[in-house]
């Protein structure tokens, strides 16, 4: 979920609660708070806890609330995850440490330490080498998947062979989620179970429908939805995420504010293209 900001740049918890409610009412089974799309790199830990509480208060018990508490500092990730657990959230999303590019042994110990510090909180690993500079290797994932509270991975490597290997090598019950909307259907076809989505802000009901069609064997119907929405999946990355999706939400009437620096506002050309795209999919004036 995006993080709404007030005109003065502060976190807008009331709009965050309203948006979370809308998402749950329109196809989302859970909400990831303070992930990449939520601009976690420019949020303070205090702001993140405020958002966790606001979203938990709005949709707790109706949908899973997952806290983005990953960090490239193991101790910071442990501390933030422990606080999220005390708030009663349903899980944590743990990104591969970025910038410092630890070797696989360091990644293994990092995630083991976080899991051990909050053993009752389910954990989703997050592999996105394009942003972190480090890829979580298959051997590391399979070792981590044996830990009882490490239950899932968000896979955004863009490598279907890697996803296939994870599906084939991890225990039953370990869940593989797509980290890219455009790869959701391909990942379902090799054993994945869903998506941690950006496009769900706009087409959550259709994504839920696509996945349900696939699960009951209506592959052609699922494919048709995938192809219908493919231009949106790509359009939301015309600039760095979450710049376009926040612009799209504003076009729909959501007061989510702009992005925080060092991200910058959507360009006029991209905003015009987004508007045309939303019109083509009948996505304007939907709230």
- Annotated active-site residue 86? The verdict is no
DSSP codes of every residue in 114-167: HHHHSTTS-EEEEE-HHHHS----HHHHHHHTTSTTEEEEEE-S--HHHHHHHH
Can you list the positions of beta strands (E) in the chain?
Answer: 30-33, 64-68, 91-95, 123-127, 150-155, 175-178, 194-195
Task: Report the chain's terminal Cα–Cα distance, integer Å.
Answer: 16
Place of tokens 């600039």: 239
The residue from 101, 126, 177, 234 that is catalytic is 126
Question: Quick one: which H or E segment has residue 19?
Answer: helix 13-25
Q: Find, among 178, 181, 182, the residue nearest to 193 by Cα.
A: 178
Q: Give yes or no for a contact between 127 and 150, defined as CB atoms under 8 angstroms apart.
A: no
Phi and psi at residue 124, to the nearest 5°: -110, 120
- Annotated active-site residue 154? The verdict is yes
The residue from 86, 98, 99, 154 that is catalytic is 154
The maximal CA–CA distance of the chain, rounded, in angstroms, is 50
Task: Supply the residues annotated as catalytic.
Answer: 126, 154
């Amino acid at each position: 979920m995006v993080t709404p900001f007030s005109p003065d740049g502060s976190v807008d918890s009331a709009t965050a609660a309203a948006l979370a409610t809308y998402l749950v009412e329109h196809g989302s089974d859970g909400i990831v708070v303070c992930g990449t799309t939520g601009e976690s790199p420019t949020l303070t830990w205090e702001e993140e806890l405020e958002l966790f509480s606001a979203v938990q208060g709005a949709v707790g018990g109706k949908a899973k609330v997952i806290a983005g508490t990953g960090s490239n500092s193991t101790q910071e990730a442990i501390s933030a995850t422990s606080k999220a657990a005390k708030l009663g959230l349903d899980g944590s999303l743990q990104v591969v440490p970025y910038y410092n590019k630890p070797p696989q042994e360091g990644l293994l110990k990092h995630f083991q330490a976080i899991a051990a510090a909050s053993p009752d909180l389910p954990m989703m690993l997050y592999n996105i080498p394009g942003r972190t500079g480090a890829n979580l290797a298959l051997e590391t994932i399979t070792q981590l998947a044996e830990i009882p509270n490490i239950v899932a991975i968000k896979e955004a490597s863009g490598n279907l062979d890697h996803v296939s290997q994870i599906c084939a090598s991890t225990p039953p019950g370990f869940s593989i989620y797509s980290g890219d909307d455009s790869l959701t259907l391909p990942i379902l076809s090799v054993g994945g179970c869903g998506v941690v989505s950006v496009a769900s802000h706009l087409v959550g009901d259709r994504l839920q429908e696509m996945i349900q069609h696939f699960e009951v064997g209506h592959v052609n119907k699922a494919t048709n939805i995938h192809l219908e929405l493919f231009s949106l999946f790509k359009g939301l990355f015309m600039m760095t995420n979450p710049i376009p999706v926040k612009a799209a939400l504003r076009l729909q009437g959501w007061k989510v504010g702009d992005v925080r620096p060092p991200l910058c506002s959507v360009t006029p050309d991209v905003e015009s293209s987004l508007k045309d795209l939303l019109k083509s999919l009948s996505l304007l004036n939907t709230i």
